[in-house]
Amino acid sequence: MKAIICETVGSVDDLKVGELPAPEAAPDEVIIDVHAAALNFPDVLMAEGKYQYRGEPPFAPGMECAGVISKVGAGVTGLSVGDRVAAHPMIGCFAEQVPAPADWVFPIPDEMDWETAAGFPVIYGTIRHALVDRGRLQAGETLLVLGAAGGTGLAAIEGGKALGARVIAAASSDEKLALCKAHGADVLINYSQGPELRQQVKDATDGKGADVIFDSVGGDFSHQAIRSINWGGRMLVIGFAAGDIAQLPANHILIKQIELVGVAYQGFARRFPEKCRENMAKMFGWWREGRLKPHVGGVWSLDDGVDALRAMRDRKAQGKLIIRVRED
């Protein structure tokens, strides 16, 4: 089968399109004929050998996809050959076929297209787990989203608004902030202009600060954000797209009784598959109601998919980047 292959860990530029053996369905797994796959920043980190989970070369990266089940392994219930599904097996999706644990495979609405479905499981699963399970975001609270114009950031804006929060979107350009506004952000902060981030957040909240911070960026922005949080606020650590892992001040956490909360969706999905499935069903429901409008920022063919990963690496992504694996 055709796939994007990582033969040596080190750089996205070392990836190439080639052939890998077609997978077989192990017990409790299904085989998915992939129609579209979505990019996530960990795909880049995995190719560079910097992610906590590492594939054994040669392997195909790719955390999530959508397609049609072509084989069902022993012990699988509730899924059948021919089902249209989305899945997040966490590796192998940039290929014509991928094996996926049945617990991480979700039937999709009939009216959902492949590009939307491919980019749904990881981001919206993460958003529900972050804002509801971990952040306990309440209606009327203020949510600050860092890196708000990326796929995860836009989904966090939508999730915050669906839960009744006031959402502050922070991004690095006016163009990106216009996209955030289109997805429902109430307040826009360009952290490349004007006062530093913490002052702009304070100004937007009458000096109180944000109740919940959604931080997928890290680095200096984490330092500024934690100083702009309300007393008793929750800071959700999602990832480190800026590259640096912030060392946050324990005294500040103590004085303001801040909850510093890790959000590791992959570990959550592995340990609590039924809760994960329940969360995903609720997010599909929000999509049907029009509360969620996933933004596809670009579509590449499988042959050109390495260029998509370069765009992700170089932080040129607005919304989800998609690799279209096969045509209908």
Q: Annotate 126-193 with DSSP letters as a single string.
A: HHHIIIIIIT---TT-EEEEESTTBHHHHHHHHHHHHTT-EEEEEESSHHHHHHHHHTT-SEEEETTS
Angle at 142 between CA 141 and CA 145, to 5 degrees: 140
Residues 135 and 115 both lie in one domain: no
Residues 210 and 81 both lie in one domain: no
Q: What is the predicted pLDDT for the residue at 200?
A: 94
Residues 258 and 314 both lie in one domain: no
Residues 91 and 22 both lie in one domain: yes
Compute the distance between CA of residue 14 and CA of residue 6 in angstroms, rounded to an integer: 7
Q: Could you tell me which of 135, 134, 139 has the C-alpha nearest to residue 212?
A: 135
- For residue 79, is it within any domain? yes
Residues 146 and 110 both lie in one domain: no
Residues 130 and 233 both lie in one domain: yes
Give the domain range for residue 9: 2-120+294-324
Q: For the chain, give the number of residues.
A: 328
Give the list of residues 6+ apart from residue 113 with CB closer than 8 angstroms, or none: none
Chain-centre distance of CA 195, in angstroms?
A: 29
Pair 142, 211: CB distance under 8 Å: yes
- For residue 273, is it within any domain? no
Compute the distance between CA of residue 83 and CA of residue 61 in angstroms, rounded to an integer: 23
Q: What is the predicted pLDDT for the residue at 38?
A: 97
Compute the distance between CA of residue 295 and CA of residue 151 in angstroms, rounded to an integer: 7
Helix (H) or strand (E) segment spanning residue 46: helix 41-47
- For residue 63, is it within any domain? yes
Total structural domains within the chain: 2
Compute the distance between CA of residue 37 and CA of residue 67 in angstroms, rounded to an integer: 9
Q: What is the pTM of this model?
A: 0.89
Residues 63 and 163 both lie in one domain: no
- For residue 32, is it within any domain? yes
Is the alpha carbon torsion for 219, 221, 227, 232 positive or negative? negative
- For residue 154, is it within any domain? yes
- For residue 180, is it within any domain? yes
Q: 188 forms bridges with which residues in the sheet?
A: 169
- For residue 279, is it within any domain? no
Q: What is the predicted pLDDT for the residue at 242?
A: 66
Angle at 234 between CA 229 and CA 237, to 5 degrees: 100
Residues 144 and 184 both lie in one domain: yes
Is the alpha carbon torsion for 289, 294, 295, 299 positive or negative? negative
pLDDT along the chain (328 residues), means of 10: 95 96 97 97 90 87 98 97 97 98 96 96 96 98 95 94 97 94 96 87 96 91 90 93 76 91 92 95 96 92 96 84 91
Tokens, residue 165: 């929060």
Q: What is the predicted pLDDT for the residue at 221?
A: 84
Q: What is the predicted pLDDT for the residue at 218?
A: 83
Residues 259 and 303 both lie in one domain: no
Chain-centre distance of CA 232, in angstroms?
A: 26
Compute the distance between CA of residue 127 and CA of residue 156 in angstroms, rounded to an integer: 6
Residues 167 and 149 both lie in one domain: yes
Q: What is the predicted pLDDT for the residue at 243?
A: 64
Residues 54 and 162 both lie in one domain: no
Chain-centre distance of CA 282, in angstroms?
A: 17
Angle at 99 between CA 14 and CA 3, to 5 degrees: 30
Domain boundary among 220, 248, 266: 266
Is the alpha carbon torsion for 294, 32, 125, 317 positive or negative? negative
Indicate which CATH number applies to the domain containing 30: 3.90.180.10
Compute the distance between CA of residue 308 and CA of residue 323 in angstroms, rounded to an integer: 8
Residues 114 and 147 both lie in one domain: no
- For residue 284, is it within any domain? no
